[in-house]
């Protein structure tokens, strides 16, 4: 037999797999779009800001204009729609079992500046225990290994709990493309969020501008919305607004 190695399944990964299982009953609509972020990238690189923070600011403002896309159903089947937009995004942090994609909630993304969101993301990256999501992971990650159903129970409750959603976020944003390089679309696994936005890498691609072909910074984006919560027309309007915000960086506060 060829050499191989067995290692324990990291206990904190149970929170990731439980989050995926919680969204199995969704009926996702998926849109794949290309977005010209050339002007935004000049600001991002010039001010040393986080691309994820810029995306979060744009998604937050787009959701605020079309709040039905982040609604969800409570225990009695009623639609719940939060006034502000809280976005859960991924921050890769180091744990005792290696790198871990920490789901961190960015609150009030519909009103906060890109610089403010950048500072929070970098603080979580450097000091994951300082934030509530990091403390939750460190405290309950090991217990999830001893109690396999703990993570499933957590997301079962979080899916309809207004209290937990207020702390976890109502929209999911992933910009893992920033770490991989190269162009290409990302399609995510449904979770408890009604809307998920996945941003790919910003790469130089030919683009038509005022009738001429030019080299521009283009991001491949995937938008996934639960059709059980949102109809096609509102979803399309949300996607159109998000594209406009991403391509017109002056519409967000830097």
Read off the pLDDT of residues 69-93 as tens digits, 9 standing for 90 and up: 998 888 888 888 898 999 999 887 7
Per CATH, domain 13-249 is 3.40.710.10: no
Encoded tokens for 76:
């009695």
Spatial separation of the C-alpha atoms in residues 51 and 62, rounded to whole Å:
17
* Residue 96 scores a pLDDT above 80: no
3-17, 21-35, 135-149, 212-226 — most confident range: 212-226
Cα–Cα nearest to 17, from 100, 104, 132: 100
Long-range contacts of 43-51 (CB under 8 A, 24+ apart): 43/249, 43/254, 47/115, 47/254, 49/114, 49/115, 49/118, 49/254, 50/114, 50/117, 50/118, 50/121, 50/122, 51/175, 51/178, 51/199, 51/202
DSSP-derived 3-state class of residue 34: strand
The full set of domain ranges for the chain reads 13-249
* Residue 115 scores a pLDDT above 80: yes
Alpha-carbon Rg for the chain in angstroms: 19
Does the pTM surpass 0.85? The reply is no
15-24, 108-117, 121-130, 147-156 — most confident range: 108-117
Report CA-CA distances (Å) from 9 to 15, 17, 150.
12, 11, 15
* Residue 102 scores a pLDDT above 70: yes
Contact by Cβ (8 Å): 57, 242: no
Residues found in the chain: 254
**How far is CA 43 from its chain centroid?**
21
């Amino acid at each position: 037999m060829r050499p191989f190695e067995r290692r324990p399944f990291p206990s904190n990964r149970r929170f990731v797999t439980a989050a995926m299982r919680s969204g199995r009953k969704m009926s996702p609509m998926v849109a794949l779009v290309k977005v010209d972020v050339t002007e935004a990238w000049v600001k991002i690189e010039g001010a040393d800001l986080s691309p994820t923070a810029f995306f979060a600011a744009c998604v937050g403002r787009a959701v605020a204009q079309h709040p039905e896309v982040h609604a969800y159903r409570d225990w009695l089947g009623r639609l719940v729609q939060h006034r502000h937009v809280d976005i859960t995004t991924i921050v890769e942090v180091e744990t005792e079992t290696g790198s871990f994609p920490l789901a961190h909630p960015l609150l009030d993304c519909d009103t906060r500046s890109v610089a403010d969101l950048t500072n929070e993301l970098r603080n979580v990256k450097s000091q994951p225990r300082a934030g509530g999501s990091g403390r939750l992971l460190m405290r309950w990650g090991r217990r999830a290994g001893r109690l396999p159903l703990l993570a499933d129970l957590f997301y079962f409750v979080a899916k309809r709990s207004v209290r937990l959603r207020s702390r976890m976020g109502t929209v999911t944003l992933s910009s893992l493309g920033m770490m991989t390089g190269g162009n290409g679309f990302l399609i995510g696994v449904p979770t408890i969020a009604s809307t998920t936005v996945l941003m790919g890498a910003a790469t130089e691609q030919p683009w038509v501008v005022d009738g001429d072909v030019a080299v521009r910074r283009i991001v491949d984006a995937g938008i996934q919305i639960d059709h059980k919560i949102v109809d096609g027309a509102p979803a399309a309007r949300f996607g159109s607004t998000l594209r406009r915000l991403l391509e017109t960086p002056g519409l967000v506060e830097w």
